[in-house]
Amino acid sequence: MSEQMHTSRQYDQVIAECRKVYLEKIQQYGTSWRVLRTISIADQIYIKAYRIRTIQEKQLQLVPESVVQEWIAMVNYGIIALIQFKLKNDERIDLPAEEALAYYDAAVSETKDLMLKKNHDYGEAWREMSLESLVDLILTKLLRIRQMVRNPQTDAEEQMYSNFQDIINYAVFALIKQREEHET
């Protein structure tokens, strides 16, 4: 099996896990995330990424919540951001679960397609990266998004969308890497 096919299958496995959490949250809370603005979603991801970075740097974790759950949350908040961009003119707060899942799946499909294209061009370089680098890249993307929210330009929405896609893919890569480390 080619590296690209292997990555694609691993990506699907990670997303299935993330999707399960997304569905559980919808069943618990509905689509209350519909009230979140771009900056709020970016801040939620920032909190998760910064926690991971702090644990990495201090080599100490006092709160017994899994770091894996933080990566999953970053994937799901990133996907929520993409859905919010698609629904910017839709003021509904409560989406039916099936509709929310359909939007989730469409965002994943588009983001995975981007990953496959970039992965082809970059030759699986992410496999050589550390988890520290992946979290730093996510934090960089979040700082860019914050800057775009503060100083909007004509193509800011498109750039923010692209940055959220990158965040999702970096978090999926981190989950794949953590899974591989756990298996060995």
What predicted TM-score, i.e. pTM, was given to this entire model?
0.95
CA atoms within 13 A on the CB side of 71: 22
Q: Could you tell me the residue range of the domain that residue 72 belongs to?
A: 1-183
Of the candidates 103, 111, 97, which has an alpha carbon nearest to the alpha carbon of residue 80?
103
Question: What's the domain count of the chain?
Answer: 1
Question: Which pLDDT score is estimated for 1?
Answer: 65
62 to 54, 59, 121, 138, 180: CA distances (angstroms)? 11, 10, 40, 23, 25
Confirm if 57 and 2 have CB atoms less than 8 A apart: no
pLDDT tens column, 147-168: 999 988 878 999 999 999 999 9
pLDDT tens column, 24-75: 999 999 999 999 999 999 999 999 999 999 999 998 888 888 899 999 999 9
Question: Which pLDDT score is estimated for 146?
Answer: 95
